[in-house]
Amino acid sequence: MEDLTYQMYLTDPDVRERLEREARRAQAEAVRRYIVAPLQQFFKRMRTATGPGETSLRIARGSMARIPNGRGLRVSVQYGIVWITQYGNPEDVCLNAGESLRIDHDGLTLLSAYGRTPHSMVTLEPAFEPSLVERLATGVRGLWAGASRTLARPSTSGI
């Protein structure tokens, strides 16, 4: 940027706009670096503290944690990205930090660290007995999925 004088700032609206835009960018960067980033680190450290009955696992990149028969167990990702594969569930799930999933099938569940971080941190919360409302909601979802599959099948009656 060329040497600017106060007179140029006062008389040229383009110079004034450019300088004010640069000042806003510098201010936003300072807020991000000195306020937002330290607060994110603080809350990340707070999330790794576990409550009663919870367990924290650190999973190194390239390795897996095995959870046998963990139905009802809540997996909460505290740091990194975790790839989750459940026995009996054809869809794998990938969770980022701050996201969680309740294991809904018995059998083996595999957790593996994914992405560029050297490890991922997860918290396992104890299983619980689903409430009547949750059991009803699961049943209705199953009925709806079955009905939508039936409706989506092509008909051969016109052949």
pLDDT digits (tens, 9 = 90+) for 101-131: 998 878 899 999 988 888 899 988 876 655 6
pLDDT at 157 over 80: no
CATH superfamily, domain at 55-130: Jelly Rolls (2.60.120.10)
* pLDDT at residue number 131: 63
Q: Where are the domains of the chain?
A: 6-47, 55-130
> For the ranges 35-39, 60-64, 136-140, which has the lowest average pLDDT?
136-140
* pLDDT at residue number 48: 47
Count of positions (residues) in the chain: 159
* pLDDT at residue number 8: 78
pLDDT at 12 over 80: yes
Which residue did the predictor score with more confidence, 40 or 153? 40
* pLDDT at residue number 112: 92
pLDDT at 47 over 70: no
pLDDT digits (tens, 9 = 90+) for 55-71: 888 898 888 888 888 88
64-68 and 74-79: which strand pairing? unpaired
Residue 153's SS3 state is: coil
Percent of the chain with pLDDT over 70: 70
pLDDT at 49 over 50: no
Whether the CB-CB separation of 122 and 54 falls below 8 Å is answered with no
